[in-house]
Structure 1
């Protein structure tokens, strides 16, 4: 039993919960004290390098989430008709764990190849993917700041395909999409916090993705949001070292390993 049972359907929860989690978890990062000793970039760089304002980022994310919610409800409606409804019995936990892993691998594969293509195709990069790279210094709230078409193709379609291929129920999807949302936010937080579980258990983390947002790493570290498998297999992996900055904090620098 889950806390929303009897109040809202699993399908509705799977639509609204990731949005609520995005603003609660991302907002928490935005409201944290300066924590300059844990930042991958100084606050001066944040203001100097980014070419988009925070209000514009917020509006862009909200627009994407509106479209995402509409399509998610449509997908859940279709799969409910196919028998994957909130009334379907949950499989045993080991099966759900396997579905989680399959969904993670599918989402990673979808996002790697589409993300890489958006970098290699000059037209797509200039007119679509460059929106996300307006945030040279990433921030938690900007994790889903993309061109609307990219948001649709990369995130919404990627999540939908992962859901369908894994065979998870709508209830399991609530937890999966909330987890994926938190992981993406963490990767864009620009912070290297001690004890952070995402940074402890995933090599694809805030520092890994920070390398990708730097000019020297623009053609590397495409993998997101979970693993670095495709980068390592296809020669787009850029290792890094975390080194102290003179003015305080840490910096992710490409290494020669």
Structure 2
């Protein structure tokens, strides 16, 4: 497929480049993305979980534990085998959802990136046309300022003149007349918007949507006794969470809370498939880290937001179970709706050490 310049733009604007579309090549050569993408978040889950499991088994950083090893054995009401089994069931459901999403989407195409960047550059050029009016509202003469700066700062002068760059031209393909081109700064800004800002906003919006979905459904499962007893109570058999128990849920809850919530966030934000996989992997990393059972000062994930392992661990305790519903990224819904735990970590490992030290004294 080939596209030429849009007739909606005036002749004063640089022309948009033609483009040819082709299917996006597979991430791993010889293996379809339809098979790779469902597996990546699962691989991330188990690799990160096993890192924390090794830390657990060899007691590498006992000073950062939220609970003692004995608590994991005595307080949890489910075996590690049962946890692993139910997580695998949950991940099979995830694979099915991923295959469904892939089947409902058009083939991802590439080749239009330069065109899309040029569209953003055009928008930047058009936005500059408002500068003279804005400066005039502030009591400044844009034309006079632009004229004075034309020799020393031609690009800045052109922007102040409303995006007027008569000196920025290139030879046309037929060589008959020069054509306008974008300034270097316009193209750099357009690339930053296209490659960084827009995907970043999509990831942030998807995180907010997922957080919103999970907060209200999660809270409902605590408020409604039938939902809690039938579904959510299974997850709370882990009074002392550990990493690979992050997705230990009833299959129905796992589908509704995690799988469906992430799928809706992905669809609502219009992500590409590859950006969507990145979002799923980031969600997986955050969920595993929130259940790891450690408050690690050097773990960047635990410092991105206040919703971290120590925060979510409170929700797994009998004294904090009616609070800290937010997951997996932020805590804003707990703050807005006043469900954030306000007490101290009375039964934390550090709390017990301090209490023991006090009794000794």
Q: Is 1:19 paired with 2:72?
A: no
- In 2: Cα distance, 1:10 partner to 1:88 partner: 18
Q: CA 1:92 to 1:55, structure 2 compared with 1: closer, same or farther past 3 Å?
A: same
Residue segments in structure 1 that go unaligned for 5+ positions in a row: 249-257
C-alpha distance in 1, partners of 2:266/2:73?
Answer: 38
Structure with greater Cα Rg: 2
Alignment of 1:184-203 (within 5 A): 184-203=287-306
Which runs of structure 2 are paired with 1:75-94 in the superposition (5 Å)? 75-79=101-105, 81=106, 85=108, 87=110, 91-94=194-197
Residue in 1 that maps onto 2:91: 65
Q: How far did residue 11 of structure 1 move?
A: 3.9
Following TM superposition, the consecutive aligned residue runs of length 4 or more in structure 1 with deviations greater than 6 angstroms are none
Partner of 1:31: 54
Please list the CA deviations of residues 41-60 of structure 1 after superposition, one character each: whole Å capped at 9, or x if unmatched. 11111111100000000000
- Comparing 105-114 with 69-78, greater Cα deviation is found at 69-78
Deviations 1:55-92 (A, max 9, x none): 0000000011011101111112202x2x6x26586752
**Pairwise mapping of residues 1-257 of structure 1 onto structure 2 (< 5 A)?**
4-32=27-55, 33-34=58-59, 35-79=61-105, 81=106, 85=108, 87=110, 91-239=194-342, 241=344, 244-247=350-353
Residue number in structure 1 paired with 2:359? none
1:9 and 1:86 in contact (8 A); partners too: no
Structure 1 residues 12 and 89, CA gap change in structure 2 (3 angstroms): farther
CA offsets 1:157-190 (integer angstroms, 9 cap, x no match): 0010010011110011121111110110000001
> Where in structure 2 are there 5+ consecutive unaligned residues?
1-23, 114-193, 355-361
Distance 1:7 1:45, change over 3 A: same
Shift of 1:202: 1.2
Decide which moves more: 107-116 or 172-181: 172-181
Give the TM-score taking structure 1 as reference length.
Answer: 0.89
- Determine the C-alpha separation between the residues in 2 that align with 1:55 and 1:175: 29
Q: 6-15 vs 33-42, which deviates more? A: 6-15
So what's the TM-score if we normalise by structure 2? 0.64
Report the RMSD for the aligned CA atoms in angstroms. Answer: 2.1
1:107 and 1:158 in contact (8 A); partners too: yes
Q: Distance in 1 between matches of 2:334 and 2:30?
A: 43
Cα displacement (A) at 1:5? 4.4
Give the aligned length. Answer: 245
| CA distance in 2 between partners of 1:214 and 1:88 (Å) | 52
Give secondary structure in 2 for the equivalent of 1:100. helix
| Alpha-carbon contact 1:13-1:174 (below 8 Å) kept | no
Deviation of the 1:238 alpha carbon: 1.1
* Contact 2:26–2:32 (CA under 8 A) maintained in structure 1: no
In the TM superposition, residue 213 of structure 1 has moved relative to its aligned partner by 0.5
Structure 1 residue 8, shift from structure 2 partner: 3.3
Q: Distance in 1 between matches of 2:283 and 2:343?
A: 24
